[in-house]
Amino acid sequence: MARRSDGRRSELGRLYLYLGRGQQRLAGPPQTLTGTHPYGRFAAAIASLGDLDKDGFGETEAEERGWMFTSLLSPDVAVGAPQGGDSGSGQVFIFRGQSEGLAPVPTQLLNSPFPGPAAFGFALRGATDLDGNGYADLLVGAYGAAKVAVYQGLPVVVARTQLSVPDGLNPEILDCVLPDSSVRVSWGRRS
C-alpha cells in the first residue's frame, strides 16, 4: 500500500524476490519491485520467461522427465499488473534477469491491446515455444476481455565488428597487395 496525496492508501502491488542458491537457505534481504499505478495490482501474476534475450541468465541446463531445470542465475521474468496503465485495462512488465536478481527497471512494457477493463496480465505463461522457432513465447490472459494475447519470441541480433590489420601492411608503401590474396590496398596521408 502507498499513501496518496490525500492521505488515503492505494494498492500499487509489490514483488519480493528472494534469491536461493541450490540447497542453501535464502540469503540476504529480498529485492523489491513496486508497481507504478494505484490499484494496478502489480505482481498479481508472475511468469518465468527463461533466457528470453539469450544473454545467458536463466538459460535451460537440462531437461529430464518433462521437467525443466534452470541455472542458478535469474531468468527473465514477466510481471502482470491486470489493472495497471492509464486506462486501467492492464499491463505486463518484462524484467531482464541478471546475476543478483532482476534488473530494477523493466526492459519492455506491454499495454493491453484490449479496450475497457480487460484485466490484461491477470494470467501469464512464459518459457514455452509455441511456434517451434527455438524462442520462448509469452501468453497473456485478459479475463475481462475473455481473450489471450500471444507474444512470439524472435531472434535477438547482436552485431560485433572487429578491424584487424595484417602485419604484412607496410605504412611506408602506399599501394600494396595483401599477403596470400590478390586484394590491393592503398591509402594516402593528408598534409
pLDDT at 71: 46
Is 97:76 a contact under the CB 8 Å cutoff?
A: yes
Q: Could you tell me if residue 163 is inside a domain?
A: no
Q: Could you tell me whether strands 67-70 and 97-98 are parallel, antiparallel, or unpaired per DSSP bridges?
A: unpaired
d(CA 76, CA 49): 5
Q: Could you tell me if residue 43 is inside a domain?
A: yes
* Residue 115: domain span: 2-151
Q: Which three cell numbers stand for residue 61?
A: 541446463
d(CA 93, CA 101): 15
Q: Which three cell numbers stand for residue 127?
A: 518459457
pLDDT tens string 35-92:
989 889 999 999 999 877 667 766 544 444 344 444 445 788 999 999 999 999 999 9
Q: Could you tell me if residue 157 is inside a domain?
A: no
Angle at 41 between CA 153 and CA 147, to 5 degrees: 50
Q: Could you tell me if residue 84 is inside a domain?
A: yes
Q: Could you tell me whether strands 91-95 and 108-111 are parallel, antiparallel, or unpaired per DSSP bridges?
A: antiparallel
- The count of domains in the chain is 1
Q: Could you tell me if residue 169 is inside a domain?
A: no
pLDDT tens string 97-123:
887 789 999 999 999 999 999 999 999
